[in-house]
Each structure stands twice: as structure tokens, then as C-alpha cells.
Amino acid sequence: MNPACPSSAAAHAANTATVPSLRHDYSPELAEHWRQRHERYVARAQEGGINVLFVGDSITEGWRQQGEAAWQRWFAPLGAASFGASGDRTQQVLWRLAHGDLAGFTPKVAVLLIGTNNLDTGLGQERPTPANTPAEIVAGVESIVRLVQQHHPSARILLVGLLPRGEKETRYRSAVPEINRGLRALAESSRIAFLEVGHHFLPADGELPPALMPDQLHLSEHGYEVLATALHPAIKALLAPVP
């Protein structure tokens, strides 16, 4: 084998977005908080009765905070649960799903919104988590899809496009659409759907409205209401019997 041409397995392993991992760049305090949150999700999973599972990062975790009113209005009646963890990348979601977040229940729909944190490097100086390219992030999301399918082959999956973020002319503005094009390509069957929601948050002038995204990344209470009204019809459609 030509040493300049690594095997596909080696190339795959080089993509950190596809390798289940803890956040090694977290302080002991942050790591303990993350662990406790994961244990709460495992306990909730074991209780069962979850029809719609939301999985993701701080945007998903925010359904318990700024998004609580919208959650109660739109998703709690569907038997939904939110397993979001602030700061998570695709690799942390993979780790959580492989360590109990998918056990004890049989969801009808899994809603995945993850990947924006992969665009940034990690915390600290000693073992920072590297940033990922758009293609690597799409591969990480695909690994999550396959893991959900492995555990719950009857579940239908809603891939939610990453939300726009940052100022105009930043790298985020070009990376997010590229990632979303890759996610759309993953929706290759009746059991996987893709939903683009960015246009609900990005007006024609390209400036993210502070009323929806105060820090150009996270959502306000009104922002969650906008997101909920975009997600709800798509989730209801996926809850319907497959023809």
C-alpha cells in the first residue's frame, strides 16, 4: 500500500466528528456538570414513553429554558423529550447515544440538530478539540443517523438544518449552507427527512434579528416560538403512518 494514500479506515478515524468522545478540553467542573446531565437523560430514557426525541447541543437544551413555553405548547403534547447538551459536538452526541440515551424506549421520531459547535476549536490550551470542516461535520451527523437507525430501525429521523449564525461575511455564513446541503443529501428515504429553517431567522438584509438571536447564535423566547412553529408540522407528518 502506498503510504501516501491512507486506508479508508484511517481516513475515517482522522475525522474527529465521527468518533464518539467526551469533551477532553472541559474543566473538571464543566465535565462533571456534563456527566450529571447525561445521567439525567439516561434516567429519563429508562422511564420510557418518549415518542419524539430531540437530540442536540445548546439550541436543543434551550427548550428547557428560553424555549420552555413553546415546548409546552407544541411538543410536550406529542410525548417529546429533549436531550440537548450545551457545547456538544457530533462526537459528544455519538458518545451519549452509545451510552444510554437511546435505551429503554422506542421513539417514533428523532429530531437531530447538531454540528454548529464543530465549526469552532475547543476550550483551553492543553487539549483543545479541533474544528471540523463542513464535510467532516456532515459525516459526523451521518454517523449519528446510522446509530439511531441501529438502535431504533422503525424510527423516522428529522434532520434540521443548522441555524445561521454570526456576522455577515464571516466563515459561518458560508459554512452553514454548505453543511445543510450535505445534510439534505442524507435524506435519501421515507424514514429520513431534512428541514431547512434558516430562512425563518435570516431576513433579506442578512442581519440576524436580535429579537430572535440576541448573541447571533442562541435563540430568544420568541426565537424558540419561531423554530417550534417551523418544526411542528414536519414532526406531525413524520408521526403519521408510513405509506
Positions marked catalytic: 58, 215, 218
Cell triple for residue 136? 467532516
Q: Give yes or no for a contact between 198 and 180, defined as CB atoms under 8 angstroms apart.
A: yes
What does the buried/exposed string (b/e) look like for 19-52 if buried means 16 or more CB atoms within 10 Å of the residue's CB? ebeebebbeeeeeeebeebbeebbebbeeeebbb
Cell triple for residue 206? 442578512
Q: What is the helix (H) or strand (E) element at residue 194, kind and residue range?
A: strand 192-195
HSE-CB for 6 with a 13 A CA cutoff = 8
Bridge partners, 109 (sequence order):
52, 156
**Rounded to 5°, angle at Cα 178 from 62 and 98:** 50
Nearest-angstrom CA–CA distance, 149 and 132: 24
Backbone angles phi, psi at 171, to 5 degrees: -65, -25
Q: Residue 128 corresponds to which amino acid? A: P
Nearest-angstrom CA–CA distance, 195 and 234: 8
* DSSP 8-class letter at 98: I
Nearest-angstrom CA–CA distance, 121 and 9: 24
